[in-house]
A and B are shown apart, each in its own frame.
Chain A
């Protein structure tokens, strides 16, 4: 189709790292659509009610034009019913029969009564549940999440709109919860590459485009076509004899609309995708800048950040203008076609009225039916086009849902009991950018030990530790838990055995208690206190005004780094797993605190395997075994004394350097 434009430059324009192939064909759009529709099962009951209600909402269209005709011909112009050449359609005939003998004002009274009934039930205009929105893709999503509307107002319109708002919300919630869940299961290497702002954008602003896509693909064309069929039937029934040309023309309107608008679909999709990617880049910039505001301020980067967001935001606005422009062009192309049809109808119908074949009331009927047919044609014509914008957004969501996640599959073993022996056999690992991190690692670790992994920065200590809970998978070799290759073990059951305390201290802005309960929701108060005590955090937590219920600020900024570190250690301890791994647990601690913590860890290692990554000797000295790592290879294993006893060992040289400071 029109997919022959310039090469896709979005990856350089916007800062997507993973999602760089954003072009999709019409066929892929159909695939995305099919997937979206399958999600509708989440709201099956509501959706069926919505369909039923939207058919009910077509009822006023069956009557209003004819009532208007009666008012003009029989009331205002006082023509008797039997003079008309145009038969009333069957559903109107009983009403006409009932009022045929009344005086003009009697007829008017009957029509007025019927109109009142219709008013209470259906109101007089359409209903939309939307509020103001901004001028780019992100700021319009809020309405899309709670999209709802009805072709009518009154009681039916109220119910129909509210039902639809609920369907939209349920679909969005289901999709974004799924997206949220899946993003948490992406491998570490993917997460390192992925930006937080982009994730926020996909969850908050892309996911809401799903329900609209579902409506646009099912409900809207369905009720439009049924409405069109009804209009065509009425035109055919009443005017088929007197003016058959009208019927032919009415039938041609819809295909004509399609022909004019479909060629724009590729263009629409592309500008939409770019608008969303630009929005993502803006969110990224906002997030990064606000999330690191202390760094930005202390480095004097405020002006720079402002410029960056200025540029990103105006790019996002500019891209949205392209979307708008394409929309306007498509819309007016369709309207133009409709105007040509309308002009022909104007000439044709007035001719018939002048010739006395049709009455002024017929003009009213035909004008009303023709108008609704015309707009149906427009909406059917732009059907595929309008889906493109949604498809662009929903594709961005599916892209992440489709990322390979860590679960090896349902047939994997669950690690039920675990005695605590970890064997690492001949493991090699390379970073995604090709640098060798580990080579030929052989190691056996047992429960009841405090093991220290020691080595200079960049030696591969963290990579080695990452192998154990399966954060990274070896390129060669195996990791065995009690003799079972973890490659075949269910990831969840594997991580149930391992608690990992990272070097960065990430805490949620919730209470300290909630931060601990996050990883172990059913821990008792005593267990929480015990974990805090072991990590040496109990004392300062108690000193806080609200104690354990103190709510932490953004990323725990009200605590010092050492305090946050101890809370993170407590969070690792509370899960009470057979394996505990701590990455540089003491880097920010003063000697006394560190001393106490190392002792506590020694105590904790009874009955479990504790692995400490460190380059500082104070933390290492009391380990049962030391694994000395250098340049991705193990260059010594043994106790501190044993390793020091060898005058040529790399470890001894490392220790001497540190002591000599």
Chain B
């Protein structure tokens, strides 16, 4: 299965935990705790939101409990009110049941029922005025309760959306903070990480995995707390109605918990697979579009399409299996819980018919549930349902938390990667003015088993141009990456004015080095923005003069909007030579003491190259300039030439002295080029 292989590659490449790994509850807990620093800045808002939500919730709970009795027993059946209820509805004593009849047994209770069903034509018949209200009174109670409902509804319409919107706002701020932190980390990770990881993977982690933090607050902290509150509260009320009911629910929880324990690791594994597969798919798309020209030119649309289709199917299947597990768990829980509700309804129906007193009849008499009757049945049943609902919701949340934990784990993975290049505690700024740069026995390999550089010694002084020459793959660009501290050497040190590179603050080091890269990376902004990329405060004048040094001014002015022309993705609208000159201008505009030009003129024609180099040597006085190049015409301008082969500097000196070594490597190299060029030269 080629698709499988791709995913496993993506994993091995990024070193994330393997597909099978699961998170123990402790690890889940730790993940949740780790979100704290991102919550901390929003703490005030979070607390305010929780308080508001809980307050609304509580008011709602108490109101429904009171309303159940009022509505079912008082309005529908016509019983008289409890004293507290009358106070609440602002009604006089005639609505209130006489104190001596409070909590009496079945005889009186039966009266309204008979009244209701004996002879419906005769409902106006006066009932026992001690326990029942007349129709007029019932309407009054109905209207008062209606008014309370209306007030509650208005409150709900005002507060509900506000609280909801507030929630979105807070959670977005939390996510934004994490996203930006991750992005910052990704930007600072050494290139060693990036050269092994796929870009799409990082995008997916920053975008999708990090979003899980917003759910953590809700799904792992707040909602469970609310749900647990519901469970406990309902359970207590159920217990007050009847300990038998409580016992039934306690016993029913056992199989449910067993189910959950069985499903938990399965959900985690499925979730990790789904996320990994989606990550691979993001990478596939990102790469395919980055290389879209190659795909087009080589008619590889079909091959790329089928690879995409394969990745896409894998991602979808993974999502499908995750959902199957999740739904299966929920359905099983729902059936067990439903069986409990239906079973207890049967029990309660029996008690209602027998008008059995409730457990703790006296204690609940205040709200009117002393005996099993219609209102009690409805109230208890709705508590049962709430208990089951909250419980099953908790279980659903548990399932979701598994997915969320896996997502967070992936997000934190990126954050946990230590940038292998960090500032020492006592790091100093880049020394100024710079006198010399010294490489001392520097060794380095991207893969430690395959050294690229070995024992490199090199010394460059201010005001000189050092050319680094050598075959392809001899380590020229790598040597310069070390100077920028994109990587740290495996052995040896690099010193600037005698200060080791590791002791210099990275920001100030990189601020002191300008580089024109071999791969001319341009961003999809304007020409001027591209030149000023690394120096945001550059004035238009600085930008233009840098462009002139790089011989780019002329062609930029020819473009329709000159310096304000928008470039396409990766600078697609320009020829390579033009891109190269923009890249050089971008290095120059920074006006740094150290300048590195990596194959600066490879794509330039001779005439332009001359002009650029001449401008550069004027501009380069008092700076240290490194040139990486193959071209003799460029090399000859250098003050010293370091000839690199197999990761070692084999020869070092100026052109004349190196050419004077009989059978020298540089001499052979030059001769090879001259041999090629010889016949081109006019006699």
Q: How large is the interface on A (under 10, 10 to 19, 20 to 34, 35 or more residues)?
A: 35 or more
Q: Does B682 contact A (CB under 8 A)?
A: yes
CB distance from B640 to the nearest CB of A (A): 19
Hey, which chain B residues are within 8 Å of A469, CB to CB? Answer: 297
User: CB of B256 within 8 A of chain A?
Assistant: no
Interface flags for A168-195 (1: CB within 8 Å of B; 0: not) read 0100110011001101110010011111
Contact between B195 and A123 (Cβ–Cβ < 8 Å)?
no
**B534 touching A105 by the CB < 8 A rule?**
no
B493 close to A (CB within 8 Å): no
Task: Assess whether B116 is in contact with A356, with CB atoms less than 8 Å apart.
Answer: yes
Residue of chain B at shortest CB distance from A353:
B76
CB of B342 within 8 A of CB of A659, answer: no
Q: Mark A347-386, 1 if CB is under 8 A from B, else 0.
A: 1001101111101100100000000000000000000000
Extra pairs beyond A431-B573, A500-B298, A591-B672 (4, CB < 8 Å):
A17-B566, A75-B352, A286-B202, A495-B297
Report if B521 contacts A (CB, 8 A): yes
A298 contacts B602, C-beta separation under 8 Å: no
In contact, B299 and A496 (Cβ under 8 angstroms): yes
Cβ distance A118 to chain B, nearest Cβ, rounded Å:
9
- B residues 325-375 near A (Cβ < 8 Å) are 326-328, 330-331, 334-335, 337-339, 341-343, 345-346, 349-350, 352-353, 373-374
Chain A residues near B146 (CB-CB < 8 A): 343, 346-347
State in angstroms the CA–CA spacing of A228 and B6 once bound together: 49
Size of the chain B interface, CB-CB below 8 angstroms: 195
Flag the segment in A87-95, A232-240, A255-263, A581-589 that touches B: A581-589
> Digit string of B45-78 for contact with A (CB within 8 Å is 1, else 0)?
0000000000000000000000000001001111
Least Cβ–Cβ distance between B86 and chain A, in angstroms: 18
Q: Say yes or no: is B553 at the interface (Cβ < 8 Å to chain A).
A: no
Specify which of B153, B297, B328, B534 is in contact with A158 (CB 8 Å cutoff). B328
Chosen A-B contacts, 22 in total, with CB atoms closer than 8 Å, are A75-B349, A125-B389, A142-B208, A153-B334, A180-B304, A200-B286, A286-B202, A294-B191, A295-B521, A324-B168, A332-B157, A332-B161, A346-B149, A462-B575, A471-B297, A555-B290, A560-B472, A563-B472, A584-B602, A592-B669, A660-B606, A661-B636
User: Which of B18-26, B95-103, B312-320, B541-549 lies at the interface?
Assistant: B312-320
B610-A593 in contact (CB<8A):
no
On chain B, the residues within 8 Å of A507 by CB distance are 291
B586 within 8 Å of A by Cβ?
yes
Does B79 sit within 8 A of A, measured CB to CB?
no
B637 (CB) vs chain A CBs: closest residue: A661
A71 within 8 A of B: yes
| A553 adjacent to B219 (CB under 8 Å) | no
- The verdict on A229 contacting chain B, using a C-beta distance below 8 Å, is no
A655 neighbours in B (Cβ, 8 Å): 680-682
Contact between chains at B176 and A317 (CB < 8 Å): yes
CB distance from A10 to the nearest CB of B (A): 16
Q: Are A588 and B517 in contact (CB under 8 A)?
A: no
On whether the beta carbons of A328 and B286 are closer than 8 Å, the reply is no
Question: Considering the complex, which residues of chain B in the window 1-51 have a beta carbon less than 8 Å from any beta carbon of chain A?
Answer: 6, 9, 13
Interchain CA distance A357-B169 in the complex, whole Å: 51
Residue of B nearest to A132 (CB): B215
- State whether A294 touches B473 (Cβ < 8 A): no
Interface residues of B in 103-124 (CB under 8 A from A): 113, 116-117, 120, 123
A293 within 8 Å of B (CB atoms): yes
What residues on A are CB-neighbors of B566 within 8 Å? 17
A-B pairs with lowest CB-CB distance, top 10: A134-B211, A661-B633, A562-B472, A457-B577, A658-B606, A132-B215, A192-B572, A519-B298, A557-B195, A139-B211
Find chain A residues with CB under 8 A from B94 CB.
none
Least CB separation from B571: chain A residue: A192
At the interface, yes or no: B652 with Cβ under 8 Å from chain A? no
Instruction: Report A559-599 residues with CB < 8 Å from chain B CB.
Output: 559-563, 566, 568, 571-572, 575, 583-584, 587-595
A42 beta carbon closer than 8 Å to chain B = no
A545 to chain B, nearest CB (A): 7
Query: Which residues of A lie under 8 Å from residue B633 when comparing CB positions?
Result: 658, 661
Q: Are B183 and A194 in contact (CB under 8 A)?
A: no
Q: Is A59 at the interface (CB under 8 A from chain B)?
A: no
**A-chain residues with CB within 8 Å of residue B173 when the two chains form the complex:** 317
In the assembled complex, A642 has its CB within 8 A of some CB on chain B: no
Interface positions, chain B 613-635, Cβ under 8 Å from A, are 630-634
Contact across chains for B349 and A71 when beta carbons are under 8 A apart? yes
Which residues of chain B are within 8 angstroms of A456 by Cβ–Cβ distance? 605, 607-608
Q: A123, B472: Cβ atoms under 8 Å? A: no
Interfacial residues of chain B within 146-205, with CB under 8 A of chain A in the complex: 146, 149-150, 153, 157, 160-161, 164-165, 168-169, 171-173, 175-176, 179-180, 183-184, 186-189, 191, 194-200, 202-203
- Contact (A518, B515) CB under 8 Å given A177-B309, A555-B290: no
Please judge, given known A-B contacts A353-B76, A435-B560, whether A204 and B281 are in contact too, CB under 8 Å.
yes
For residue A245, CB closer than 8 A to chain B, the reply is no
Q: Contacts A300-B507, A457-B575 given: A591-B673 contact, CB under 8 Å?
A: yes
Cβ–Cβ < 8 Å partners of A119 in chain B: 335, 338-339, 342
With A and B bound together, what is the CA distance between A343 and B151 in angstroms? 12
Contact B172 A317 (CB under 8 A): yes
